[in-house]
Amino acid sequence: MAATDIARQAGEGCRTVPLAGHVGFDSLPDQLVNQSISQGFCFNILCVGETGLGKSTLMDTLFNTKFEGEPATHTQPGVQLQSNTYDLQESNVGLKLTIVSTVGFGDQINKEDSYKPIVEFIDAQFEAYLQEELKIRRLLHNYHDSRIHACLYFIAPTGHSLKSLDLVTMKKLDSKVNIIPIIAKSDAISKSELTKFKIKITSELVSNGVQIYQFPTDDELVAEINGTMNAHLPFAVIGSTEELKIGNKMVKARQYPWGTVQVENEAHCDFVKLREMLIRVNMEDLREQTHSRHYELYRRCKLEEMGFKDTDPDSKPFSLQETYEAKRNEFLGELQKKEEEMRQMFVQRVKEKEAELKEAEKELHEKFDRLKKLHQDEKKKLEDKKKSLDDEVSAFKQRKTAAELLQSQGSQAGGSQTLKRDKEKKN
């Protein structure tokens, strides 16, 4: 239908809008930018490496800030993770930066379980975010996301090969966090040795199946630079907050007796490449990869452990409500079954206890009868003994009476003879 026909049907009083006019939804990106700037951003970095490799110094150099912290000692009984959060401001953009350090990593004699506290810490952050997601009243817009977005793995500049501890730890972490390997204090080895060391590290990572973070090349704007930087991994870096005057400008550098190493000189180290890739180009991709890949993997495994599935055994869609109802019914069935088993067990134990009590009662009655019979026998014996003693007492009394009688008769007879003799003497 022509535009004139539409206008004629609409009537003379209706307003007409030209089709080529400006609507305004092209300002949506600006709205998103303004909203993001007002909310601020968060970024969490995990620094993994042995004590003394310059982790704190590199963080100070990366963000051009002196972060507060105490030097770690080599006397830790185990690996401890220390987390510090800082509020940074650059232009009108705010960043809540969290730096997590592995205190005591690699200092123990037995390093077999050194990776476990790190894995447990990363999983704990995933679990906290998952629990917030599962709440009925979620506050994700105000929630401080503590999930690790990037793991800077510091490799000691040995110039030979990776340590077993490094390979084991990176293998355990590659499915949980974006690993960016870096060679710390790279000024400790020569340039030729450094090139060979990088090739050796890359080949060992590939042969052991360690998946490190690859800078994305699907975006045309950053595909070329990211593709180039992927070939430079691992980055050989140097950190320093000391500023020296070289020529007519002040630069961050390290002063040695033999010369000066400039931190931001790409001919001296890869610090600029690391800062470019980590902060200026791929910070948002690191955040996105953490959420869409690593966290989703943890979430999926966790929900599957809890019994939640997307499809039923027939591969048909299975909603969360249906899964919950099925799991609830299964739980109630198991609960009822356990309750019945406990009831039967209780009845059985009551019966066993009653049988034990009856047996004990029977034994008590038998013992009482034995004791009663024994008491009666003892009582009869005592009565017999008492009767015998009474007879002896009676006989003794009779003999005593007879003896007293005889004694009295003898006394009377002796008295009469004495009187008779006295009369005879008088006569």
Answer whether residue 263 is part of any domain: yes
Answer whether residue 21 is part of any domain: no
Buried b (16+ CB within 10 A) or exposed e, 349-384: eeeeeeeeeeeeeeeeeeeeeeeeeeeeeeeeeeee
Q: What is the total count of domains within the chain?
A: 2
pLDDT of residue 23: 74
- Answer whether 170's CB lies under 8 Å from 153's CB: yes
Give per-residue pLDDT as tens, 122-149.
999 999 999 998 888 888 888 889 999 9
The percent of residues above 90 in pLDDT, for the chain, comes to: 50
Q: Which of the residue ranges 78-82, 126-130, 140-144, 349-353 would you say has the lowest mean pLDDT?
A: 140-144
Q: Which of the residue ranges 65-69, 96-100, 284-288, 297-301 would you say has the lowest mean pLDDT?
A: 65-69
For residues 260 and 210, membership in a common domain is answered with: yes
């490094």: which residue's tokens? 166
For residues 107 and 206, membership in a common domain is answered with: yes
At 283, which CATH number?
3.40.50.300
Write down which residue in 306, 336, 364 finishes a domain.
306
Q: Which two tokens stand for residue 22?
A: 């400006």
Q: Which two tokens stand for residue 296?
A: 């989703």
pLDDT exceeds cutoff 90 at 45: yes
Computed over every residue of the chain, the mean pLDDT equals 87
Answer whether residue 29 is part of any domain: no
pLDDT exceeds cutoff 60 at 6: no
Q: Which alpha helices (DSSP H) does 152-247 contain, by range?
A: 164-173, 191-207, 223-230
Give per-residue pLDDT as tens, 152-175.
999 999 888 899 999 999 999 999
pLDDT of residue 1: 46
For residues 327 and 302, membership in a common domain is answered with: no
pTM exceeds cut of 0.85: no
User: Alpha-carbon distance 47 to 59, whole Å?
Assistant: 9
For residues 294 and 174, membership in a common domain is answered with: yes
> Strands 150-155, 41-48: parallel, antiparallel or unpaired by DSSP?
parallel
Q: Which residue from 234, 237, 258 is spatially nearest to 186, judged by alpha carbons?
A: 237
For residues 214 and 330, membership in a common domain is answered with: no
Give the residue numbers spanning the domain of 122.
38-306
Distance of CA 397 to the CA centre of its chain: 99
